[in-house]
Chain A
Amino acid sequence: MDFSSFNAAEQAQMTKIIEKKQMQDFLRMYSNLVEKCFNSCCNDFTSKALSSKEEQCVMNCTEKFIKHSERVGSRFAELNAEALNTQK
């Protein structure tokens, strides 16, 4: 996305909107990740505490999701750059 044709006031407003959306996006990702990792890692309810195995699973799940999302992000950016170049 290219907002370079926007004037200063418009760019300032876009920055504000983007910041707000990034916050919302982060919170949404957080709750989705909790659900995903809980469902993948917690299946034993004979104890109310997370076992060390479950905890390790949750940590790996979170770490792996971040790496996954970063990798998708960089591939996506490459695709966009490619599409932009063929447009010109």
Chain B
Amino acid sequence: MSFLGRGAGGPSNGVNPERIEMAVTELDTVTDFFNRMVSSCHAKCISTRYADQDLNKGESVCIDRCVAKFNEVQKKVGEKLQSRGAAASGGGAGSFTGL
């Protein structure tokens, strides 16, 4: 997160609760996405024998691919929901925006 150490950007000194709320929602979404990714890829890639404390070669490669795939699935599902939403505009859950 890059906001630390930068000068104040906004013109006023008051707190805009709407902007805070938006940022918190974004933070929650990304955190949730990341946590789900950690837990899914752990379930799929890590052997439960725990004979070793290090990730072995196979597990490491699996994690790298799992993260890329999880991300791609997120995009695909997002695109699908978006095109569905556009087709049935007004009737559905409304707009969906990616991260």
Q: Which residues of A contact B (CB under 8 A)?
A: 1-11, 13-15, 17-18, 21, 25, 29, 32, 36-37, 40-41, 56-61, 63-65, 67-69, 71-73, 75-76, 79
Q: Which residues of B contact A (CB under 8 A)?
A: 1-4, 6, 8-16, 19-20, 23-24, 26-28, 30-31, 34-35, 37-39, 41-42, 45-46, 48, 50-55, 59-60, 63-64, 66-68, 71
A60 touches B52 (CB 8 A): yes
A-B contact count (CB 8 A): 121
B67 touches A60 (CB 8 A): no
5 shortest interchain CB distances as A-B pairs: A7-B10, A3-B3, A63-B53, A75-B67, A60-B50
CB contact between B15 and one of A3, A9, A56, A58 (< 8 Å): that residue: A9
B24 touches A10 (CB 8 A): no
Given contacts A6-B9, A60-B52, A75-B68, list 12 more A-B pairs with CB under 8 A: A4-B6, A7-B14, A10-B19, A11-B8, A18-B27, A37-B50, A63-B53, A64-B52, A67-B54, A68-B63, A75-B63, A79-B67
CB contact between B13 and one of A5, A9, A56 (< 8 Å): that residue: A9
A4 touches B9 (CB 8 A): yes
Give every chain A residue within 8 A of B46 (Cβ-Cβ): 64-65, 68
Known: A15-B4, A59-B53. A10 touches B41 (CB 8 A): no
CB contact between A72 and one of B2, B16, B63 (< 8 Å): that residue: B63
B2 touches A2 (CB 8 A): yes
Give every chain B residue within 8 A of A73 (Cβ-Cβ): 34
Give every chain A residue within 8 A of B45 (Cβ-Cβ): 68
15 contacts between A and B (CB under 8 A): A1-B1, A4-B6, A5-B10, A13-B20, A14-B20, A14-B23, A25-B31, A40-B50, A60-B53, A61-B50, A65-B46, A68-B42, A72-B41, A72-B67, A79-B67
